Amino acid sequence: MSKSLDRLTLLASFVRIAERGSISAAARDLGFSQASVSRHLGELETRLETRLIERTTHSLALTDAGEAALLEARQLLQGWGALAERFKDQDQLSGTLQVIAPVALGQLHLIDAALDWQVKHPDVRLNWRLDDAEINLVQSGYDLWVRIGRPKDDRLIVRELVQVERLVVAAPELARSLVTPHPDALKSVPGVSLAPFEGARLPLTSSEGQRMTVSLPPAFSTNNIFAALKAARKGLGYAVMPKWLVADEVDRGVLIDALPDWRAPPLMVTACYLPSRRQSRLLSAFVDRASEALPRLRGFQLITDEAGLSDDVSQIRVT
């Protein structure tokens, strides 16, 4: 084994240990024995002349040096991957792509595009994680972050994929209690808040361009979109929901479009990645697939300059 390859193996073992929090789990992922991965870690620490991981009987923890080395190790491995990718068969994709996406979008729609794409590229391995929380993409080790809205980290490259139409829905009984299908009528009924998604005030725009903002005192507040949807179905309050999630239920009358002439600001689905991953054919091919597949689905639209998209990242973390 060459010295350069040996160093990459040491780095790969260290990164996987840090990500998995376990030498045994890292060994299973990498196809090495536990003893081999432990030796890789020890050898790397010897070469760097510093301890990277504190080991106890029941846990592993990165040292300060380990935290710094983890970022460098990931960048080196990504750089090697980009170099190797450049000389591969241009018609055949291979390698591992690590993707993190919102729970509902990733579970209900984006997963289909991802799996169809992987079937066409059987040499590709996907690490698919669903999480609505804000992440530090630099530290996470993921190649691609599909999220709602723009990230706060201005180091990331951001590609806009689609916009999401949102409507105000309510259970039939609650919708019938509205005096008129107008935002003013919401003042007399409770709401379901997807916190910190909506905040305390809800801007609305009519089909004729009129704008209004209504307060949103919630009867039920949650950070999970599926919980908010269930609360709306049970009539606990009206809720602002993405059309792609509730369109079928509106068609069946399970939920009512309470303000058919008014809409909440559409949101933007973005693909975010580090500049070091700019040249990755694997990442680019996946993003291209997502940008082609999502606009074909009900409730997603191509982004236009007149979209009026919400830029408040603090209000668009969960969807």
Question: Mind listing the pLDDT tens digit for each residue in 74-116?
Answer: 878 777 776 766 666 566 788 889 899 999 999 999 999 999 9
Tell me if 147 sits within 8 A of 268, measured CB to CB. no
Q: Range with the lowest mean pLDDT among 50-64, 100-114, 298-312? A: 298-312
Residue 91 tokens read as 């018609």
What is the per-residue pLDDT for 49? 92
Q: What is the 3-state secondary structure (H, E, C) of the chain?
A: CCHHHHHHHHHHHHHHHHHHCCHHHHHHHHCCCHHHHHHHHHHHHHHHCCCCEEECCCCEEECHHHHHHHHHHHHHHHHHHHHHHHCCCCCCCCEEEEEEECHHHHHHHHHHHHHHHHHHCCCEEEEEEECCCCCCHHHHCCCEEEEECCCCCCCCEEEEEEEEEEEEEECHHHHHHCCCCCHHHHHHCCEEEECCCCCCEEEEEECCCCEEEEECCEEEEECCHHHHHHHHHCCCCEEEEEHHHHHHHHHHCCCEECCCCEEEEEEEEEEEECHHHCCCHHHHHHHHHHHHHHHHCCCEECCCCCCCCCCCHHHCCCC
pLDDT at 236 over 50: yes
Q: What are phi and psi of 206, to 5 degrees?
A: -85, 170
Mean predicted confidence (pLDDT) in 113-141: 89
Instruction: Please state which CATH number belongs to domain 3-86.
Output: 1.10.10.10
Tell me how far CA of residue 295 lies from CA of 48, 81, 149, 154, in angstroms.
Answer: 49, 31, 16, 26
Higher pLDDT, 236 or 86: 236
Mean predicted confidence (pLDDT) in 158-183: 93
Beta strands 95-101 and 144-148 are: parallel
Residues of the chain with CATH 3.40.190.10: 95-161+269-298
Mean predicted confidence (pLDDT) in 173-192: 90
pLDDT at 215 over 60: yes
The tens digit of pLDDT for each residue in 237-270 reads 999 999 999 999 999 999 999 999 999 999 999 9
Domain 95-161+269-298 indexed as CATH 3.90.1150.10: no
Give the Cβ contact number of residue 85 at 10 Å: 17
- Give me the residues paired with residue 51 across strands: none
The residue among 116, 118, 140, 113 whose CA lies nearest residue 129 is 140
What is the per-residue pLDDT for 21? 83
Instruction: Match domain 164-266 to its CATH number in 1.10.3720.10, 2.40.50.100, 3.40.190.290, 3.40.50.150.
Output: 3.40.190.290
pLDDT at 197 over 70: no
What is the per-residue pLDDT for 90? 60
Residues of the chain with CATH 1.10.10.10: 3-86
What pLDDT band is residue 8 in, cutting at 50, 70 and 90? confident
pLDDT at 307 over 70: no
Residues of the chain with CATH 3.40.190.290: 164-266
What pLDDT band is residue 314 in, cutting at 50, 70 and 90? very low
Residue 30 tokens read as 């990498």
What pLDDT band is residue 277 in, cutting at 50, 70 and 90? confident
Across the chain, what does the average pLDDT equal? 86
Tell me if 262 sits within 8 A of 168, measured CB to CB. yes
Q: What are phi and psi of 225, to 5 degrees?
A: -70, -30
